[in-house]
């Protein structure tokens, strides 16, 4: 049976590492302490962070002790981006995000048992450090030439980079030093875009203590064309259900590209080699079944949300296209669908015709086109075919939470949303 390091390598989870042979020996032969840092630069983590959290689970399940660090201090600064300077978020907002993310990451680690995890906040050990002490004790170990050689710094030199972002690497390296010195942490994990910061921390520990520690970077989550997912790419899939509903989350993975889905199964799921090999075979031979996508979407929705939410999401995917009863969906699920599909607010449906509703939602370009859709038998209200062009909606059509599902043909779907605000009436033209 392969050891942990070989399993991580087979899954494609090792994008970069320091001294692979030494790291393999520590991961496979003994129990070590490791940490993952998450900066509160948004109100929620996203699927890129999810890969890190699942990696933490793998390491803890193999007997290693996790420290999850929420960056109350580094979140006030922000890791430099390749494109432009970050806007600094207000202190009170960052602290509120710290608390949200603490709650969000907690379910992914086991706080009991022989190697219980811990949650830590780097604000606890940085807010009392003076500038003079930091410059004398930490700054002396950082060469300006090495800092200038970092990819993100080189990319920003022409457009400009502030001293604030330029110095971020010192703060993250200091975190690793503190956790090593005070808690015996000897491995930092993170995404491959963090590997420069990780190795800087490894180097700082060596310079200050003489000890040799490890760094492990996982790959960024990308599409088949190499573009990445994440909040900076404008395609964030959030872990907070208020920002990305369980339905949208399930749909995201259900729509994974055939070229990437097996890689995603290896990266994100606990399925073993035999199971993934069989799903890869089905994807190659019968892609229309989307067996790998369903396994991926179901596993991750169970993990992030719950089995109940996954069942609702799967039911919703069937129901909106007429293959299940829409009235079995909860108000929250219908609200999630409304975030993903064309929708229009209405203050009331009194005297509102189906033709007007189809046009208001945008399922047809005009009321004339909507009328033709009804006459051709291709218009539906809550999966019931509309028989007459002058049919009007009624209070009985409301689904939980104030939603009505409209469909044109087999696949063009939208919703009306009950919204009592005065500007929510459909255009009568």
Q: Which DSSP state fits 140?
A: G
Residue 234 lies in a domain: no
Query: Torsion angle, CA of 302/306/311/317, rounded to 10 degrees?
Result: -80
Split into its structural domains, the chain has a count of: 2
Of 186, 219, 252, the position where a domain reaches its end is 219
Residue 336 lies in a domain: yes
- Tokens at 23, concatenated: 């790291």
Distance CA 135, CA 129 (A): 10
Distance CA 7, CA 407 (A): 46
Kindly report the number of other CB atoms within 10 A of residue 185's CB atom: 25
CATH number at residue 336: 3.10.290.10
| Percent of the chain residues past pLDDT 90, beyond the cut | 78
Return the residue matching tokens 């933490």: 56
For the stretch 36-49, pLDDT in tens is 999 998 999 999 99
On the question of pLDDT at 149 being above 90, the answer is: no
Q: Phi/psi at 33 (nearest 5 deg)?
A: -105, 140
Picking from 126-130, 203-207, 300-304, which range would have the lowest pLDDT averaged per residue?
A: 126-130
Distance CA 50, CA 320 (A): 28
Concatenated DSSP letters of 2-58: --HHHHHHHTT--SEESSHHHHHHHHHHS--EEEEEE--SSSS-BHHHHHHHHHHHH
Q: Which DSSP state fits 124?
A: H
Residue 260 lies in a domain: no
Beta pairing partners, 404: 416
CATH number at residue 10: 3.40.50.620
On the question of pLDDT at 79 being above 90, the answer is: no
Of 198, 219, 240, the position where a domain reaches its end is 219
Residue 294 lies in a domain: no
Of 156, 141, 184, give the one whose Cα is nearest residue 82: 156
For the stretch 16-39, pLDDT in tens is 999 999 999 999 999 999 999 999
- Tokens at 151, concatenated: 């990819």
Helix (H, G, I), strand (E, B), or coil: what is residue 79? coil
Residue 236 lies in a domain: no
Residue 197 lies in a domain: yes
For the stretch 255-303, pLDDT in tens is 999 999 999 999 999 999 999 999 999 999 999 999 999 999 999 999 9
Which position has the higher pLDDT, 223 or 271? 271
- Tokens at 233, concatenated: 């790419």
Model pTM above 0.85? yes
Q: Phi/psi at 65 (nearest 5 deg)?
A: -100, 120
- On whether the CB atoms of residues 55 and 13 are closer than 8 A, the answer is yes
Residue 400 lies in a domain: yes
What is the chain's mean pLDDT, rounded?
Answer: 91
Q: Which domain holds residue 339?
A: 329-429
Residue 274 lies in a domain: no
Of 42, 47, 17, give the one whose Cα is nearest residue 221: 47
């Amino acid at each position: 049976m392969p050891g942990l390091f070989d399993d991580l390598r087979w899954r494609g989870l090792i994008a970069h590492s320091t001294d692979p042979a030494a790291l393999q020996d520590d991961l496979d032969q003994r129990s070590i302490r490791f940490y993952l840092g998450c900066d509160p630069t948004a109100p929620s983590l996203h699927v890129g962070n999810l890969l890190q959290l699942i990696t933490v689970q793998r390491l803890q399940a193999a007997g290693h002790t996790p420290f999850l660090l929420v960056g109350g201090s580094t979140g006030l600064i922000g890791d430099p981006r390749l494109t432009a300077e970050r806007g600094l978020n207000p202190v009170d907002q960052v602290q509120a995000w710290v608390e949200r993310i603490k709650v969000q990451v907690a379910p992914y680690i086991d706080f009991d048992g022989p190697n219980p995890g811990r949650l830590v906040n780097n604000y606890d050990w940085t807010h009392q450090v003076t500038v003079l002490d930091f410059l004398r004790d930490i700054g002396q170990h950082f060469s300006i030439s090495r800092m200038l050689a970092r990819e993100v710094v080189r990319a920003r030199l022409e457009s400009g980079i502030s001293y604030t972002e330029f110095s971020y690497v010192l703060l993250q390296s200091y975190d690793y030093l503190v956790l090593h010195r005070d808690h015996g942490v000897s491995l930092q994990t993170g995404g491959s875009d963090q590997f420069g910061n990780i190795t800087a921390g490894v180097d700082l520990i060596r310079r200050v203590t003489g000890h040799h520690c490890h760094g492990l970077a996982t790959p960024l989550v990308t599409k088949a064309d190499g573009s990445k997912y994440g909040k900076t790419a404008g395609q964030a899939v959030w872990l907070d259900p208020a920002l990305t509903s369980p339905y949208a989350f399930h749909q995201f993975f259900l729509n994974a590209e055939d070229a990437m889905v097996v890689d995603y199964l290896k990266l994100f799921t606990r399925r073993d080699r035999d199971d993934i090999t069989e799903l890869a075979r089905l994807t190659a031979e019968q892609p229309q079944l989307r067996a790998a996508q369903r396994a991926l979407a179901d596993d991750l929705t169970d993990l992030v949300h719950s089995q109940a939410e996954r069942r609702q999401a799967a039911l919703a995917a069937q129901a909106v296209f007429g293959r299940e009863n829409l009235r079995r969906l909860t108000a929250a699920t219908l609200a999630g669908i409304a975030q993903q599909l064309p929708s229009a607010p209405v203050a009331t449906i009194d005297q509102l015709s189906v033709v007007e509703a189809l046009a208001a939602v945008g399922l047809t370009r005009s009321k004339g086109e909507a009328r033709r859709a009804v006459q051709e038998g291709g218009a539906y209200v809550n999966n019931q075919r509309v028989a007459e062009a002058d049919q009007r909606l009624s209070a009985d059509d409301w689904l939980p939470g104030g939603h009505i599902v409209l469909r044109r043909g087999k696949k063009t779907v939208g919703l009306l949303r009950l919204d009592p605000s005065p500007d929510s009436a459909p255009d009568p033209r």
